[in-house]
């Protein structure tokens, strides 16, 4: 599960119990590596919670088959980069990407904006020779 705000991640972390690891921008590098390794190798560690931006670079989570965004980012490329942590060489299963969006919320506005931005990016890329 990916989110922006530490408070959201901390609440999820407390609620999911011992089957979860948490990585945010504040997580020291050694702890980050240990959390990733635990998730990748220990079947009892079922959930990986991470900050969207902390998970954007240098992370491989091929043990995951689903990513759930509980918050959004304004930049489509940031979300895509976080999704790509699961779509790596060595991924054995399909990966399901879900965005939890409550109707009428700010995230719903953001989701519509992201879709529009991605459409513009796709059109521009199609025009490139």
Those residues whose C-beta lies under 8 Å from the C-beta of residue 108, and which sit 6 or more positions away, are 101, 102
Distance CA 85, CA 63 (A): 10
pLDDT band at 121 (very low <50, low <70, confident <90, very high): confident
* CATH, range 2-127: 3.40.50.300
The answer to whether 83 and 65 are in contact (CB under 8 A) is no
Classify residue 67 by burial, with Cβ atoms within 10 Å: 0-12, 13-18, 19+: buried
pLDDT band at 37 (very low <50, low <70, confident <90, very high): very high
Give me the sign of the Cα torsion angle 73, 75, 77, 78. negative
Q: What is the CA radius of gyration of the chain?
A: 15
More confident residue, 98 or 86: 98
The encoded tokens of residue 110 equal 């953001």
The encoded tokens of residue 52 equal 């969207």
Q: Domains of the chain: which residue ranges?
A: 2-127
The encoded tokens of residue 34 equal 């240990």
Q: Is 80 exceeded by the pLDDT of residue 35?
A: yes
Neighbours of 85 (CB within 10 A): 22
pLDDT tens digits along 3-17: 778 888 888 888 888
The answer to whether 64 and 95 are in contact (CB under 8 A) is yes
């Amino acid at each position: 599960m990916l989110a922006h705000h530490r408070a959201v991640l901390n609440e999820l972390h407390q609620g999911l119990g011992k089957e979860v690891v948490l990585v945010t921008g504040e997580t020291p590098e050694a702890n980050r590596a240990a959390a990733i390794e635990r998730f990748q190798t220990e079947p009892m560690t079922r959930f990986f919670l991470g900050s969207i931006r902390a998970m954007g670079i240098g992370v491989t989570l091929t043990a995951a088959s689903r990513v759930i965004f509980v918050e959004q980012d304004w930049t489509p490329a940031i979300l895509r980069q976080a999704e790509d942590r699961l779509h790596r060489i060595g991924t054995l299963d399909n990966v399901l990407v879900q965005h939890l969006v409550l109707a009428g919320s700010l995230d719903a506005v953001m989701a519509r904006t992201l879709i529009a931005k991605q459409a513009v990016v796709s059109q521009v890329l199609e025009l490139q020779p």
